[in-house]
Amino acid sequence: MALPRNHWVLTFVCADLPGIVHAVSGAVVASGGNITESQQFSSADTGRFFMRLQVESEASRGEFEAALAPVVERYGMTWQLDVVGRPLRTLVLVSTAAHCLNDLLFRQRAGQLPVQIPLVLSNHGSLRDLAGFYDVPFESLPVTDAASKAAFEQRVIDAVDEHDIELVVLARYMQIISPELCDRLAGRLINIHHSFLPGFKGANPYKQAHARGVKLIGATAHFVTSDLDEGPIIEQNVVRVDHTRTPAELVAIGQDEESRTLTQAVKWFAEDRVLLDGARTIIFR
């Protein structure tokens, strides 16, 4: 009788030294596994080595981790072991724009996005029905002043704890996140900015793009840090426009790029394909 096979995804970072691949692949072999996908990168900027492996194995998690333990220790690895395809527990924050939330929920239900969304939080009530159609709980808390903003952020923190959240997505959530919350969620807070960063930071990027007369507009998915619109970039897309487009038309045209860019970034993150190398991201596509 065939044993059940596990499909692991192993990611790790360490100093770039000889022998790492041999050591790690040795642990895979020792635990009866087979490498089905592998990507590596040596960063000339930081001297660090990044690797992502998918491994099919009959070993249990404990057995695989035991095989990995001496390698992890020898190379001082920061590592993570996950199951391929496991849905990531994801909290989504929105305001009034529906397109990004619609794309995330549609793809999640279609089985194209390995996330599990226990809650959508909003500072408005207008997207309640959309969440409801996809059977996702929805809460709204108005944000109108410092106190209500603090209450909203406290609700985010509580929800992260309650639902053991692994990723928070700002799907056109139009409030600035406090530095404290940015720090608390560092590396697991993704935003979609509606311009091709670093062009047009801040508010009203489409209005800025129209005034400047650019010929391509874009969208940028990035990790959020307390430095506004300066966090590490995960994905970017652009689309061609011309002089006939009004700022309002740019908004409509740009929504496509926003949705697909954010969804792509969330997908890669959920598949453990996004690693941080200083201010830059490694994307193991």
Q: What letter represents residue 180's amino acid? A: E
Site for a copy of itself in 84-103 (CB under 8 A): 98-99, 102
- Per-residue binding string, a copy of itself, 131-170, x by CB under 8 A, is --x-------------------------------------
- Does 126 interact with a copy of itself (rule: CB under 8 A)? no
Nearer to a copy of itself, 57 or 90 (CB): 57
Going 163 to 13 to 186 to 283, the CA torsion angle's sign is: negative
The stretch near a copy of itself (CB under 8 A) out of 5-13, 59-67, 142-150, 213-221 is 213-221
Nearer to a copy of itself, 105 or 160 (CB): 105
Nearer to a copy of itself, 79 or 106 (CB): 106
- Does 21 interact with a copy of itself (rule: CB under 8 A)? yes
Shortest distance (Å) from residue 208 CB to a copy of itself: 8
Shortest distance (Å) from residue 195 CB to a copy of itself: 9
| DSSP per residue, 46-93 | T-EEEEEEEEEESS-HHHHHHHHHHHHHHHT-EEEEEETTPPEEEEEE
- Does 116 interact with a copy of itself (rule: CB under 8 A)? no
3 state SS of 23: helix
Residue numbers annotated as active site: 229
- Does 40 interact with a copy of itself (rule: CB under 8 A)? yes
Cα separation, 285 vs 279, in Å, equals 19
Cα separation, 271 vs 112, in Å, equals 12
| Cβ proximity of 180 and 206 under 8 Å | no
3 state SS of 257: helix
Q: Which helix (H) or strand (E) holds 247?
A: helix 247-270
CB atoms within 10 A of CB 14: 18
- Does 26 interact with a copy of itself (rule: CB under 8 A)? yes
Using CA atoms in the order 98, 170, 88, 104, what is the torsion angle rounded to 10 degrees? 20
Out of 64, 75, 138, 200, name the contact with a copy of itself by CB under 8 A: 200
The stretch near a copy of itself (CB under 8 A) out of 6-14, 74-82, 168-176, 212-220 is 212-220
Bridge partners (DSSP) listed for residue 37:
54
Site for a copy of itself in 230-259 (CB under 8 A): 232-238, 242-244, 246, 252, 255-256
Cα separation, 190 vs 224, in Å, equals 6
- Does 18 interact with a copy of itself (rule: CB under 8 A)? yes
Shortest distance (Å) from residue 181 CB to a copy of itself: 23
Q: Which residues, at least 6 apart from 6, have a Cβ–Cβ distance to it below 8 Å?
A: 56, 57, 58, 59, 60, 61, 64, 83
List contacts with a copy of itself (CB under 8 A). 18-19, 21-22, 25-26, 28-29, 33-42, 44, 98-99, 102, 106, 110, 112, 129, 133, 196-200, 211-216, 218, 232-238, 242-244, 246, 252, 255-256, 260, 277, 279-283, 285
